[in-house]
Amino acid sequence: MTDTPQVLFKNRRPGETAFLAEYQRSGGYEGLRKAVKMTPAEVRETVKESGLRGRGGAGFPTGLKWTFFPADQLGEKYLVCNGDEMEPGTYKDRELLLADPHQLIEGMLVAAYALQTPVAYVFIRYAYERCAQNLERAIAEARQAGFLGRDILGSGFACEIFVHRSAGRYICGEETALLNALEGLRANPRSKPPFPAVRGLFGKPTTVNNVETLANVQHIIAHGADWFRGLARTESGAGTKLYGLSGHLNQTPCLEAPIGITLRELIQEHGGGVWQGRKMKACLPGGASTPFMTAGQLDVPMDFDTIEKAGSRFGTGGVTVFDETTCMVEATLNLNNFFARESCGWCTPCRDGLPFVSWLLRQIETGKATMDDLQTLRDQLRNITGTSFCALAQGAVGPIESLLRLFGDEVEDHIKRGRCPLKS
């Protein structure tokens, strides 16, 4: 398990943060040096060829996203890094920024060069104050060293990076809500189209990418698209991934491993197996908005297409495991309570639908529900699916849909017995 190439976590040491000297000792800023000798279009093309897909949850191909951006158009335009990481079970960006903040700064500078954006923002959630401080120090160091600011490495390209500290709310991770938040507006999502690439921050073309996504960019430039594709174990996949383990495991580390590693390897080798000698019942493979997977699906490779075929989503790579004693209704209720509370209140299916779903799940969990309530729950899911203004409510539906699909008997058992069958 130690033979996995460490790209993003290569400088990671327990309780320490690598700053410029250490970062450069391991090849830091070589990607940027190489990038500024290429044309911006060549950099974009290399990222496209690399097969890099967004690491923030949606998995959109980064190079393709960049083709929508008017990089060659003169004038005000922005690169924004989404560091709002607030999806329960997801803590990889925090671990990266605690360990090695220059990974992001260099990645952003290469991306900014590729997109020709003179201004870039890092949007950081409230709980990540140490990450924000690490980034500010890294920015100052990079400026001192001539990697950031005016005329970067003699290329004539100029870029400033600003850190924006937020004040809570999961919805800020939705890219258009994030743009409103950055502008100092109430962070409700915007209607799309127009997409941010056309009208984004302050009405100007903007690209929004996740922390881990951007941190991969300079490595792709330094080592090439083929090298990056070769890091993954699946044919269609590319790169390594930061996986954050949590839940009922003996160990819950955050680690870097190839795209395509199996759930079994993550859980058995890196998580030390299910805790207290118990068996696994289910897991969330990629954060709170990804449908449950079961113990029978452990050999599915962790990649976007393979997990989707298995009925879930790769998401953020945050794997939360539940042991055999877990009541899946109660776990789903906890998940839905999160989404209901974090709803921004903008649209009815989300604002009113999610609390109603929580109420129905609580009725089931406490043994007060009837079979009619179960039908109402199904109706609610149908009402919410595809009708909400942004993806938040859609994410909330994932675990509930999978609860009914995979654990239907357990749900009905609650109703038939008039109590939770997993509690004595």
- What are the residues binding another protein (CB under 8 A)? 85-91, 93-95, 125-129, 164-170, 181-187, 202, 244-248, 252-254, 284, 288, 318, 320, 322, 326, 331, 334-335, 337-338, 341-342, 344
**Distance separating alpha carbons of residues 319 and 92, to the nearest angstrom:** 11
User: CB of 249: closest distance to another protein in angstroms?
Assistant: 10
Q: How far is the CB of 20 from another protein (least distance, A)?
A: 25
Choice between 87 and 141, CB closer to another protein: 87
- In this complex, which beta carbon is closest to another protein, that of residue 261 or of residue 340? 340
Give whichever of 186 and 382 is closer to another protein, judged by the CB atom: 186
Q: Which residue, 65 or 94, is less far from another protein as judged by CB?
A: 94
What's the CA gap between 367 and 325, in Å, rounded? 18
* Closest distance of CB 269 from another protein, Å: 16
d(CA 46, CA 32): 13
CB of 244 to another protein, least distance (A): 6
- Provide the minimum distance between the beta carbon of 389 and another protein in the complex, in angstroms, as a whole number: 16
Nearest by Cα to 161 from 127, 211, 199, 87: 211
Backbone torsion region of residue 202, taken as left when φ is above 0, otherwise alpha when ψ lies between -120 and 50, otherwise beta: left
Give the C-alpha separation, 417 to 364, whole Å.
10
Nearer to another protein, 88 or 285 (CB): 88
Q: Which is nearer to another protein, 231 or 283 (CB)?
A: 283
| Closer by beta carbon to another protein, 231 or else 396 | 396
Q: Are 226 and 238 in contact (CB under 8 A)?
A: no
Q: What is the nearest approach in angstroms of another protein to the Cβ of residue 371?
A: 27
Is 391 strand, coil or helix?
helix
Taking the least distance from each CB to another protein, the nearer of 6 and 326 is 326
Let me know how many helices (H) and strands (E) the chain has, helices first.
18, 9
Q: How buried is 188 (Cβ within 10 angstroms: 0-12 exposed, 13-18 middle, 19+ buried)?
A: middle
SS3 content of the chain, % helix, strand, coil (to 5): 45, 15, 40
CB of 293 to another protein, least distance (A): 15
Is the bond preceding residue 189 a cis peptide, omega within 30 degrees?
Answer: no
Q: Are 172 and 187 in contact (CB under 8 A)?
A: yes
**At closest approach, how far in Å is the CB of 188 from another protein?**
8
Helices 391-406/353-365 angle, 10° precision: 20
